[in-house]
Structure 1
């Protein structure tokens, strides 16, 4: 395993399709522990799309923009899970929602992590209203066409079943009813750690705009809420 990343460090998140990068973008590390990898994708972050050809065609975001358009998103992923949980804030940061993005378990690299979006998603409103499935038809069409690895679609379905059962019981691992602090950090180009020439690794610097959010989560061992953040 590669060494752990440092809170505040900028790393590279890649989605690999056909063994080559489909989409690549920098994210800022919030926490890297045995239980959780949390990264922040800032609004305006540049995105690089692979030139292909790809078995699934161009990445769907390529037709929209080459930068992240929405407000910043916190991405929470546990080692081995077939999904990540993205925290979306409203434009005024007054509320948030959870977005379960099914993906291949992340794999560490020297400069970041590799994964691949697996089409299926679940939207979990932060106000406690019922969750909603997304892109089920896309997922099933991809599975029927043989677009996933052997047994992968069934593993995703099982992971989704287990997760929705937990949601129905009000036992989501990321903490039902928790309102995380909205991050203010931005990636501001190469000086703030944007990937360049294959090298990344800017750490936290002074000033509130580059300080990382404190995001509490429950420790499996202690059962207590704890936080991950840049050192003061």
Structure 2
């Protein structure tokens, strides 16, 4: 377990290569799960199209065939809390306004995580759920999930129903106010003693998680 305030990486990738890397500080790490603060302006790595045209401006099939390059950027907008359960193929993110008011949850469906000395590795599974503070849920990126299912290096078609079912279970938890949608972190403020984080030199070590 990482002590409170430890700086670690949360990396998404596949085929042994990290494609999106966040830098955060540990809020809690225990039998319940790992909670991180990703502060505004935190350094990160993103995979972006070489031609500079935003992915969302392209047809869905084209988004995953375009040539990309990794570049150093920063977390844009207010900070978030990211929670990954001790067991489970998902994480939940708490979003806030610039004034610090809770804005809602974002459920990210992802592969089971692999820990290493400096952080956590997972692989994104495209399908997400957005949940408002009053617990109204909507699916996000269903078209991308359908497009990627069964592709080489992604989750097989035999897992698609289970991934979708995980999202349904989390929607039900949120509606019932069950953990982690039980009010935790909705008023979170980062420790004022924390210094800005930095991107460590080993951010590009081989990525460990499967699809």
Query: Counterpart of 2:31?
Result: 34
CA 1:47–1:28 in structure 2 vs 1: closer, same or farther (change >3 Å)?
same
Of 190, 196, 201, 1:197 maps to 201
Q: Distance in 2 between matches of 1:75 and 1:97?
A: 12
* Structure 2 Cα separation of the partners of residues 132 and 92 of structure 1: 25
**Structure possessing the higher relative contact order (Cα contacts under 8 Å, 6 or more residues apart):** 2
Q: What is the deviation of 1:142?
A: 1.0
Aligned residues: 190
What is the distance in 1 between the residues matched to 2:68 and 2:83? 22
RMSD: 3.3
1:62, CA displacement in angstroms? 6.5
CA–CA separation in structure 1 for the residues paired with 2:22 and 2:81: 14
Distance 1:161 1:97 in 2: 17
- The aligned counterpart of 1:148 is 154
Scaled by the length of structure 2, what TM-score is found? 0.76
Q: Using the TM superposition, name which of 44-53 and 115-124 deviates more.
A: 44-53
**1:135 corresponds to which residue?**
141
Mapped contact 1:104–1:116 kept (Cα < 8 A): yes
Deviations along 1:124-149, one digit per CA (max 9) or x if unpaired, are: 111x1521111111111111545523
- Structure 2 gaps of 5+ residues are 51-62, 204-211
Equivalent residue, structure 2, for 1:107: 114
CA distance in 2, matches of 1:138, 1:5: 34
Q: Which structure's residues are more often strand, by fraction?
A: 2
